[in-house]
A and B are shown apart, each in its own frame.
Chain A
Amino acid sequence: MSVAAKVNRFTGSPALVGKLLGLVVLLGIPVLFPPSDVTTWTVYVAFAILAVSIDLVWGYTGLLTLGHAAFFGAGAYFAAKALPGYPGIPDVLVLFVLVPIFCGLLALAIGWFLFSANVTGSYFAITTLIVAIVFEQIAGEFVSFLGGFNGLYNIPNMEIVGFELETIPLYYFTLFLLIGFFLLSQWIVNSAFGRQLRGIRQDMERTALFGYNTELARLLVFTLSGAMAGIAGGMYATINNFVSPPLLGFVLSTQVVIWVAVGGRGTLTGAVLGAVLIQFLNSTLSEVLLNYWNIALAIIFILVVLVAPRGIVGLLEDATTKLRKRRGSGSGLANQSQVSGGKQND
């Protein structure tokens, strides 16, 4: 393939351009914002990992989870207890081995409990919502062990081979994790297993009739997603140095679902875009608009659900295909290459 063809393919793929643009913006955050804001952005990135984990379960597999913060918060609390409590264990081992094992097992247990009884659809949403409420209440009640409603303070920053990660390195480390999880998720959803997940979303019975074990597939993706949410939570604990019961709760769970819905469910770019954009707007616009911002966000969310279920990414995709069709009608050759580019996007 010639260089020109490669360039053509690149410009013919707006999705790729969009992703790279987003990556450049995220890489440039420490340059664009003062260090005090960088920690806030690190939190945004940690929550974006949670959004990706929710998108895997909801957007791709069609299981609306309203309780995913339970795993995020469990990871955060686990890190908050283990990091200062056992200084002998390396932080990396706690955050990237013990936390995902703990949260993955939690998700496995809850997932088995629900999937083995074939709890799906709205019942799945309501039962996961209740799981989050139960987790939040438990964390709020154990005052001596989990700090009760005041939460746990003074969680140390994470260390890698003796080096403590300060503001900017911590930001890039978290961003590196997000990119890693994004690529991992992209690989998963484009694999045969990912196709099976989408099959479950579209028609679970038919997928089962094709001979797939849908219960096992749902259990796998839920466990994986719970472990991912747990790692995001563990990172949050070291970024924020403080955890409290709302991290486990139902409000955070539904908030992140709203981010994913507005960004675009069923696309990983949409999950990250929604999470980062809405958190950024939350902090900038709530100062100006006060409570009216929350009202505006609720209306945007309702409108997205009603008329644009594929979110911002879906709207952008529609707009670019329309634009390309209009441009493509000019010359035959350009038309051909652009159509093939369009096919790759779908």
Chain B
Amino acid sequence: MIFLELASVVPLQIGQRAAIAATSISALVLAAAGLTIIFGLMGVINLAHGAFVMLGAYVGFAVQDAGFSPWLGILLAPIVVGLIGLILEMSLVKRLYERPLDTLLATWGVAILLREGVKVVFGTSQKSVSAPIEGAVPIAGTQIPVYWLFIIGTAVVVMAAVIAIFKYTDIGIMALAVIENREMASALGINTKVTDRATFAFGSALAGLSGVIIAPRLSVSSTMGLSWLADSFLAVIVGGVGTFVGTIAGSVLLGGLGNVFRTLIPDFTAIAQALVLVVALVVIRYRPNGLISRGGRE
């Protein structure tokens, strides 16, 4: 009898756990995909990436606060954050391409600037954003909110689109060409400055999108950027810098491990988080090229 009860109870919890894990992994994949472009491909250590995710969430809040449909927020957030990324590239990042550690410092300054700016505009209280889709569907014996499925679906579609853009479209291939060999790309008639700008803005827009999409699952605050920053950097580095498949693998590993540890030690969520970080450190230490490294390059 006890065995039968267990059998019915355990799958229920696992089903819910898995859904939570899949949702958080999806949001992380979206945020980390932007960083794969900016850090992994362009080599820019953008410490404002977490702040971009935070800004995306606040765009969602502002749109809802003004009384518009949440869908408008999801449409606007990537545009607004993409534009801010564009401004950042044109004002700071382009001057620091030769000084990577100074890029890191300057973008950290930008992260503080955005955080404090949001505090001035929206105050320090935590905000909540409502999901654009209500309701839940029964899957594997548990009720899964439809919006979670929307998050997972968006991550799948966006990742497929991003991979396709960089593999098959002229714009994507031109961007890769500039990253691989700037002089040669320039000699072939590609405007490298415009390409840099567009690539950076695109990566920023993805951060904004991830922020606005995950906002209904979180309490939105000006300080939320830090954990997103750390998680996306780890997902990119652990997975293997510069490959989208690697980033997905890194996100699955980190997001999945986080949920596993949290299930195993439910009373110590911070320790669970710390354990994930330690695993990431060990991976970086022993596999500096990540789990899935880009073959054939130095």
**B171 nearest CB across to chain A (Å):** 27
**Contact residues of B between 103 and 161, Cβ < 8 Å to A:** 104-106, 108-110, 112-113, 116-117, 119-120
Across the interface, B120 reaches (CB within 8 A) one of A114, A254, A292, namely A292
- Chain B residues near A292 (CB-CB < 8 A): 120
Bound complex: CA A292 to CA B226 (Å): 21
Number of chain A residues whose Cβ lies closer than 8 Å to a Cβ of chain B: 39
Binary contact track A291-322/B, C-beta < 8 Å → 1, others 0? 11011011101100110010000000000000
Q: Evaluate contact between A257 and B105: CB separation under 8 angstroms.
A: yes
Q: Given the interface contacts A130-B277, A257-B105, does A291 sit within 8 Å of B112 by beta carbon?
A: no
B266 beta carbon closer than 8 Å to chain A: no
B194 beta carbon closer than 8 Å to chain A: no
- Chain B residues near A295 (CB-CB < 8 A): 113, 116-117, 120
B65 beta carbon closer than 8 Å to chain A: no
**B295 nearest CB across to chain A (Å):** 20
Bound complex: CA A261 to CA B233 (Å): 23
B100 beta carbon closer than 8 Å to chain A: yes
Most chain B CB within 10 A, of A126, A261, A299, is at A126
**B254 nearest CB across to chain A (Å):** 12
B33 beta carbon closer than 8 Å to chain A: no
Q: Evaluate contact between B285 and A114: CB separation under 8 angstroms.
A: yes
- Chain B residues near A118 (CB-CB < 8 A): 288
Q: Evaluate contact between A138 and B274: CB separation under 8 angstroms.
A: yes
- Chain A residues near B270 (CB-CB < 8 A): 137-138, 140-141
Q: Evaluate contact between A129 and B109: CB separation under 8 angstroms.
A: no
**A115 nearest CB across to chain B (Å):** 10
Q: Evaluate contact between A299 and B288: CB separation under 8 angstroms.
A: no
Most chain A CB within 10 A, of B100, B116, B288, is at B116
Q: Evaluate contact between B113 and A130: CB separation under 8 angstroms.
A: no
Most chain A CB within 10 A, of B105, B108, B230, is at B105
Q: Given the interface contacts A126-B233, A134-B274, does A298 sit within 8 Å of B105 by beta carbon?
A: no
- Chain A residues near B168 (CB-CB < 8 A): none
Across the interface, A291 reaches (CB within 8 A) one of B116, B233, B274, B278, namely B116
Interface class of chain B by DSSP? helix
Q: Given the interface contacts A119-B285, A137-B274, does A305 sit within 8 Å of B105 by beta carbon?
A: yes
**Contact residues of B between 246 and 292, Cβ < 8 Å to A:** 268, 270-271, 273-274, 277-278, 280-281, 284-286, 288
Q: Given the interface contacts A117-B285, A126-B237, does A141 sit within 8 Å of B271 by beta carbon?
A: yes
Across the interface, B102 reaches (CB within 8 A) one of A131, A141, A258, A305, namely A305
Q: Evaluate contact between A122 and B230: CB separation under 8 angstroms.
A: no
Bound complex: CA A298 to CA B100 (Å): 19
Q: Evaluate contact between A122 and B101: CB separation under 8 angstroms.
A: yes
**B258 nearest CB across to chain A (Å):** 12
Q: Evaluate contact between A117 and B230: CB separation under 8 angstroms.
A: no
A90 beta carbon closer than 8 Å to chain B: no
Bound complex: CA A291 to CA B114 (Å): 12
Bound complex: CA A123 to CA B117 (Å): 29
- Chain B residues near A64 (CB-CB < 8 A): 101, 104-105
Across the interface, A125 reaches (CB within 8 A) one of B96, B101, B119, namely B101
A127 beta carbon closer than 8 Å to chain B: yes
Bound complex: CA A141 to CA B265 (Å): 12
- Chain A residues near B106 (CB-CB < 8 A): 302, 305-306
Bound complex: CA A126 to CA B100 (Å): 13
B95 beta carbon closer than 8 Å to chain A: yes
B80 beta carbon closer than 8 Å to chain A: no
Q: Evaluate contact between B277 and A125: CB separation under 8 angstroms.
A: no
**A54 nearest CB across to chain B (Å):** 13
- Chain B residues near A298 (CB-CB < 8 A): 109-110, 112-113, 116
Bound complex: CA A127 to CA B116 (Å): 25
**A139 nearest CB across to chain B (Å):** 9
Bound complex: CA A119 to CA B284 (Å): 9
Closest Cβ neighbor of A63 among chain B residues: B101
A280 beta carbon closer than 8 Å to chain B: no
- Give the B-binding residues of A (Cβ under 8 A): 64, 113-114, 117-119, 121-123, 125-127, 129-131, 133-134, 137-138, 140-141, 250-251, 254, 257-258, 261, 291-292, 294-295, 297-299, 301-302, 305-306, 309
20 CB contacts below 8 A, A to B, read A64-B101, A117-B286, A119-B285, A119-B288, A125-B101, A126-B233, A126-B237, A127-B285, A131-B281, A134-B278, A138-B271, A251-B226, A257-B105, A291-B116, A291-B119, A291-B120, A295-B116, A299-B109, A302-B113, A306-B106
The 4 tightest CB contacts between A and B, nearest first, are A302-B109, A298-B113, A298-B112, A137-B270
